[in-house]
Amino acid sequence: MKQILIIDDEPIMRKLLEQILKQKYEVVSLENGKEALEWMYSGNIPDAVVADLNMPEIDGFEYIAKVRESAFFSDLPLIVLSGEESSSERIRCLKLGANDYLIKPFNPEELGLRIDNLIRLKS
């Protein structure tokens, strides 16, 4: 079973994403970019990541940059979920290397399809 890493500092959002994705994927959810990087650097490579932008410790922008710097994670499918609708935020994420950007509130079916497509492209 493919593994999805969810990174969001809001417990309610993590629970919601787990509920949506657990039918199809093994789900690991962490609170911020720092925890996620530590988990990944200790040898865990998920099949895709869904990350929030506004988080304590290491935010979404810094997380994307650090993931893309690493040879191990350079092609890891990465979707940003954000409450920010500004196109400058979206462009910044895409320039840093995010594969996709969805605005909260999002359609659960659309998120699932975008994850499926990114994983399929990678394999």
Q: Which CATH superfamily is domain 3-122 in?
A: Response regulator (3.40.50.2300)
Mean pLDDT of 112-117: 96
Q: Are 76 and 48 in contact (CB under 8 A)?
A: yes
pLDDT tens digits, one per residue of 34-78:
999 999 999 999 999 999 999 999 999 999 999 999 999 999 999
**Residue 84 pLDDT greater than 90, yes or no:** no
* ω into 105 cis (within 30 of 0): yes
Q: Note the pLDDT of residue 117.
A: 97
DSSP reduced 3-state for 7:
strand
Euclidean distance between CA atoms 26 and 46, whole angstroms: 9
Mean pLDDT of 8-13: 96
Q: What is the pTM of this model?
A: 0.96
**Residue 23 pLDDT greater than 90, yes or no:** yes
